[in-house]
Structure formats: C-alpha cells, structure tokens
A and B are shown apart, each in its own frame.
Chain A
C-alpha cells in the first residue's frame, strides 16, 4: 500500500484517445517524492533528444506531491512540466489553487499527455470516467472566460485548467490558468498544451487517499494550522501578500525599471501593496488548504478598460509596472488582467513588452515594424503589444518567441538588453549589486526564475552599507559592489530547499515568509506516508532532482554548457543608471569566479556538465 499517494498515473494519448492507468512506481516515490520530482524524472525518461517542443512527441506532465490534497497548510500545489518551447530545455511551473487536490481525489498522482488531438479539445476526468470532448465553442476565448464557461457546463465542483489565445497560438511564454487568477506561468507549458489541441482539463475527484495514520495526521494538520495562525509574520503577510516587497525592492535597488536599465522606480509607492489595499482590493483569496491567503482579488478601472482581477503579485508589479513603467496600480492590474485572459505569463510578457519599447526608443525597430509608436509608461501600448503577441499578428509574431529570438530577429545590438537566461525572461529582481541573486538566475534549470533560489536577501544582509549611504555614494562608486564571497554555498542550499516544496506538493510561503518550522513537515510526512525522512534526507532528494534537470538540459539542448549560464551583456557591462545602485554592474570576471566555484561544488566540469561521479552518486546515467 502506497500511503499518502493516490497510487495511479493516468496517461492519455491524445492522438489515439487511448487511456492507460498504471501504478505509481515505488522507485519514483522513493527517489523523487512527487510534484517537481515526478515531472523531472518522467520527462527525462519519456523524451528523446531532438524532440520538437511544439510537436506531438513532446509530453506534458502534471503531478501532485505526497502532501498535496491533505488537510495541512498550503497543500494545494500542482506541478506542470514539458520540454519548454521558451528554452528548448527543461521546463516546469508550479501553481496554487485546487486542481492538484482534485486530480488526486480522482485517483491520480500524475497525468501524462502524449500526442495531439485532431481538434481543439477538453480532457474531462470525472473519477474513473475519462473522456475527450470538443472545445470548439471555447476557441479563441480568454482563459478566465473559458474556465467560467466550462464550470457552468460541467458543474462548479469540477476544477479546471485552461489556456488562452496565446496558448492556442503557441506563444513561447503562454501560461496555464486556473481558479480565475492562479497560473502556472513559466516556461510555456501552455503552448505545449496548445500544440496538443488541449484548451482545458477539467477534473472532479471524490475518492479518499489512504493515509498511514489518519487520526494522527488529522491532529497534526490541525496543530500546523494553529502554529501558522500564531506566527508573528501571519498578520503582516496576509494583508499585503507578495506586493509588500515593492518598496523594499526599490530601497535596495533591485526593482527592474525601464527594461532593467535601472533598478529604482521613483513611482514605486503608487504600485505597492498599500496601493492595492487602498485602490483595488475587494477581498483576499487563498488556495486549497491555505491559512495565509496572499491572493488579492480587486477591481481595476482605467481609461483603457476595467476588470475584476486577482493580483497583481509582486512579479507582475515588477515587470508590468517597473519594467514597462506603468505608474498607477490600476494600470498594472489591468495589464495583469489582459495577460490573464490572453493566457500570457505576466513575467515574460512584461519583459518582452519592455524590451520592444526599448528597441523602439533606440531605433532598432520602427513604426513600420510595430504599426504605431510605443513608449514606456503607456498602458495603451502595453495592451496593444500583448494582444498582437497573443494573436501572433505583425510584430507580435516575432515577440511571441520571447526576447532571445526577438533580439536575433531585430539585430542592432538588442541582444545586450534582451533580459533572459537560457531563453526564459528574467523575473522581478535586478541584480547588478546582488551577486548571489545573479548566480541564482544564471544557474536555475529553467532559466531566469527566482523560484529556485532567492539569494537577494543574503546579498542585502551581507552588505555593510545602509541604503542611505548607497544613495549618497551614487555613481561615484565609493562603495564596492557586494562581494561574491560565500554566495555560492548559499545559492546551492536554496536551490535544494525552495524546489523541495514543489516536490512535496506544498506552498513554501508558510515557511519562507512567516517562519513555519520544517520539522512539522517531517512529522506530517511520516504520519501520511508511513515513511520517515528527515528534512536533510528530503533535501538530498531535491539535490538529485537538481542534478537530473541539469542533465536533462545537457541531453536536449545542442551545445549546452557554460555559455548558457550567462546573463545579458547589460548586466556585465552597463552600470545601473539611477537609484541606490547607480553606477554598479557585475563584471564577467566576477561571474566566472562564481561559476567556477559553483560548478566545482556541484561536481560539474568547467563547462558546467555533470561528471560521471556525481551522476552515479545520485543513481543517474550520463
């Protein structure tokens, strides 16, 4: 008996409509836990080198974790993965909401989608009844509208994921949408769903999950809620959510502004967490099992349009607000809503749009290319470009691939300020005075994503200078750039700890943000699964997953190695133009120094390729 898991994996071949239900392999459970671990291992085994990310041979894996769907804090997480159309390497994305628990209650730890349907379709999983129905009426519909229509059609008790027009049109950074505002945003898994002609997946599950010690697990879960409610951070975290970091990111000079030309926006106080409360908020919104609802459901009225929208989260504020220079919270929220309906990742979309704005500002692209003038700060221009991208119309067809291919198409030196790593656009932290965070972005398996390691706090805490001193120092450079010393160990540690939550199927925010102790997870994991693992032993599994995803990229990306780990030239050669870190940048020599140390500690060669010894240690093959 596999306690804590549903025990089955559902594989659907969309080309033949065949469904296969198999046992969840014990080897997979033992060595990869679930969620991100399942996604990484299954993708590694199922995909051959040379697979087209948008061809029928790619697969989409949806996985829950051993703690998903149980009565404990933050157990609503679901992990999605595929060969990424953004990077052509390992791609995954994590999402809150209620979908994962529903999939597990339907009896499945994991869903694997192969092949491609011959028409736009919805996969419906109603416990054991699995069918593929036409999604013809949903074609071209916004992701949120499509979810609403499907729930009306199938029933409110179905949990639904959808893609928007961007996914249907295979935009490289299309996102999966769920629960009217939760997204699996990164790495373009929704584009892969679009390539498989899957508009939506609807799940209703009513089964029980076997537990090793049900009464003790329930009691422990209740205790965990009580502990969360009593944490000092609980009452400040919940009202503001992730947006509370906006002011801080500016004060330490980490807020991407004007396509990362600078790291400080003098309008930040108009787009922060307090602005959301004052000008947008209707109600807080949480995921399955969440005691700390960080979602902010609000109403945004702008001259372009008005909408009810969940968000914006900090990342959307940073990329749509900071990088595109939308100076009012209503504008940021409305651009967020447009992305949500079109099914675009707000992080990549914001960076792509701001990249286009800078290209136009510098004369790299013209009115003839774009169809109109565009400028930083214009909501009309942001919406115009987002709609072009989702439809792949005009310049949108080029921008739909992301900043890396767009820079290759535009030329004119624009690759210097195409802000990405490995083809994935940078999320919301400017790093020219934050070497640890820079290394985090450089070495993340999916590309420039903060989710794997958030070392910015370490960088900031290691700097002796106060913010006021940094501002006074200005461009004179009287203060040294934050030292890279000691950063590598911290980054490696975080690259094991943060993704571990994605393997367990739980939200990391209760621990990372309000101080929930990890021993609670050790205890509840044992009561649920019957398996005793210390946190350190779980971290070792997370390290195995990390080695596997690196090896995945070696296997799938031609010529993969060190050159794929560098940030854009802007960060290595151009000083920050304003704010606390004015004048600073990280020279390539510093980055190479960190990479050398990082590779050595990882057991990789000087080109960043995992060595036979480290692969063998984790039971992996070259």
Chain B
C-alpha cells in the first residue's frame, strides 16, 4: 500500500542538506520507521536530535503512519 507523509526539516539540517526542501511530501511504498525515513532522505541520523509528530518527540523506531507530518530537529549549537 502506498501512503503519503510530510517531512519538515529545520535548523542546521537546512544548511547541511541544501538540496532538500524545508518541507517535503513523500510517497512511500510500504511502512517504514522514522529512522528509515531519515536514512531514505539521505540525512545522517546523528544530525537529528529530535523527531516529532504532532508536537511530541517520538522514538526513531516508530512506524510512520499515513498522512502524518514528521518534524526533524537538528541539535542546537551551544549557548
């Protein structure tokens, strides 16, 4: 089954992956984890400090659901 999710990237991820749009809607062939989705977009998992869905931090092993919006948050650069 194909399903669609929206991915938002922010912070340093925009600088590190300038070829990626800040917001992307992607179509998936089968259920994948958040971690798998990050890898599929070519993003280093180490540069994703938090992944959130509906403003809640989620485990990267969570299976993403149809029509959800996933936000990938990079680590901040100190104070």
Contact = CB atoms under 8 A, between A and B. Distances in A.
A252 interface: yes
B40 to A, nearest CB: 16
A460 B46 contact: yes
Interface in B14-55: 14-17, 22, 43-47, 49-50, 52, 55
B62 interface: no
A461 B49 contact: no
Interface string B48-79: 01101001010000000000000111111111
Given A235-B52, A512-B11, A514-B10, A467 B46 contact: yes
A528 to B, nearest CB: 25
A313 B75 contact: no
B78 A236 contact: no
A233 B52 CA distance: 9
A315 interface: yes
A232 B76 contact: no
A461 B44 contact: yes
Given A294-B79, A512-B11, A233 B71 contact: yes
Interface stretch (A237-245, A363-371, A562-570): A237-245
B77 A513 contact: yes
Instruction: Give the most central of B8, B14, B43, B76: most A CB within 10 Å.
Output: B76
Given A461-B16, A466-B45, A236 B75 contact: no
Nearest to A516: B10
A509 interface: yes
A236 B79 contact: no
Nearest to A497: B15
A245 B78 CA distance: 7
A462 B47 CA distance: 10
Contacts of A460: 44, 46-47
A314 interface: yes
Contacts of A236: 50, 52, 57, 73
A447 interface: no
A463 B47 CA distance: 11
Interface of B: 8-12, 14-17, 22, 43-47, 49-50, 52, 55, 57, 71-79
Given A244-B50, A457-B12, 7 more contacts: A233-B73, A245-B49, A249-B75, A314-B79, A457-B47, A462-B44, A515-B10
Interface of A: 231-233, 235-237, 241-245, 248-249, 251-252, 294, 313-316, 318, 427-429, 450-451, 454, 456-458, 460-463, 466-467, 509, 512-515
User: 9 closest Cβ contacts across the A-B interface?
Assistant: A313-B79, A515-B10, A232-B71, A242-B79, A454-B77, A461-B44, A457-B12, A248-B75, A233-B10
5 contacts: A235-B52, A241-B76, A244-B50, A315-B79, A461-B44
